[in-house]
Structure 1
């Protein structure tokens, strides 16, 4: 006779084994032959020259704003504003993206399609949040406290030697707490990335279906030579 009673099972041990993936693994000739033409085609596209940089640009070149960061934010404005205006009849007031979103330098010389993928390897897209002036003030406080060169466009900030805010202007006008501002950013930051929780609640959110990488590519295609500079959009007074 056998009992129908089921015995309780207990996990007594877990074992793991590391399997290293190295170049010592043999290549499958069939797979390699199949992939080769696709790889060559993609590399040809990525290595095509689309613009030229007069110098090398890095996100570590400045304290509160950098040439590459200024280019990054200005490109988002220049490429996205026509899309936004066509859909809404309104203009983007300012742009804010994050310092950490720039993932590579731009080297002096030819700019290729690959350059855009190296700078922006993520699939982040441009969104425009309609937020109150009081939230823009929170945005400004975030930037002043961060003391980091987060890319901005159409926004000018001045701090004193102790990093206390002296002046903040959008399009050369003081921030109006009763006004709604249209701020272009990326979907990651809008959802609170990098601690940027000032975008919500927003009066409206406009999804442009325009990847930041594509904005960069479109700008490089139409611009023969780039020469961005560190400027006065976010500065600290000497005294």
Structure 2
């Protein structure tokens, strides 16, 4: 037994210099950069297609799944007759859907500005709503956030909405006069200029996206842990399961004189 341990010892000791001697020592002496244009002129790589095709087929099947139905076309209209639109169907649907889903987790939220106009990317069609449509409307991985803001920061947010001619909102009504917010109502009650308000938004907006500065110094903030896109999908699916269609209305939540 003692001899066996000795043999093992010498084998291990002998292997160390062998391993060290086998290690390579290379020094980079030259590098070249070549650009490969990826466009329709390139020949088809059948091996690559065979590799990704099964995944593409599965993804296409999932993305083409109908998850709901809309009674109206919800267009991404930022202007009408060359004038900014203060309210439209797509913004109302988007805001109401996310506000509805957020209230399940926190019923004390006062109002929502979950996105800016630029954050809602495309229209939603009339008729079948496919999963792919929701990914096109909200292609980002944005999270829903809840912030408690001071009266000054709430006023700053309202002024931003007014100055930019209207943004997607829910639980909030206001008139824009001379680019200023007037007759502001929150959850059916007049704005209290001394009150802190709890607001639903997105991480993008809260971090200063599209030059929104109102969420920089919150009294409180909470990550809901829900992606905005997932909340939209849930809302549409739940309406479908209940036999309801998506049918947003223009209700005058934001008007501009």
Q: TM-score band, normalised by the shorter chain?
A: 0.7 to 0.9
Match of 2:253 in 1: 233
- Higher helix fraction: Structure 1 or Structure 2? 2
2:210 is the alignment partner of 1:221: no
Match of 2:217 in 1: 201
> Alpha-carbon deviation of 1:184?
0.5
> Alpha-carbon deviation of 1:24?
2.1
Match of 1:210 in 2: 226
Find the aligned partners of 2:153 and 2:186 in 1 and give their Cα distance: 13
Choose the corresponding residue for 2:122, options 104, 121, 124: 104
Match of 2:100 in 1: 78
Match of 1:4 in 2: none
Match of 1:120 in 2: 138
Say which is worse superposed, 166-175 or 108-117, in terms of deviation: 166-175
- Provide the TM-score with structure 2 as the length reference: 0.79
Q: Does the CA-based 8 Å contact 1:67-1:228 persist in structure 2?
A: yes
2:197 is the alignment partner of 1:177: no
Rg bigger for which structure?
A: 2
Task: State the number of aligned residues.
Answer: 216
Match of 1:7 in 2: none
Match of 1:34 in 2: 51
- CA deviations on 1:178-229 (whole Å, 9 max, x unpaired) are 3221101000110111111111210111001101100110011111311112
Q: Unpaired runs of 5+ in structure 2?
A: 1-31
Match of 1:189 in 2: 205
- Provide the TM-score with structure 1 as the length reference: 0.85
Find the aligned partners of 1:163 and 1:200 in 2 and give their Cα distance: 23
Q: Does the CA-based 8 Å contact 2:159-2:180 persist in structure 1?
A: no
Write the mapping of 1:6-155 to structure 2, written as runs, cut at 5 A.
19-60=36-77, 63-85=85-107, 91-96=108-113, 97-147=115-165, 149-155=166-172
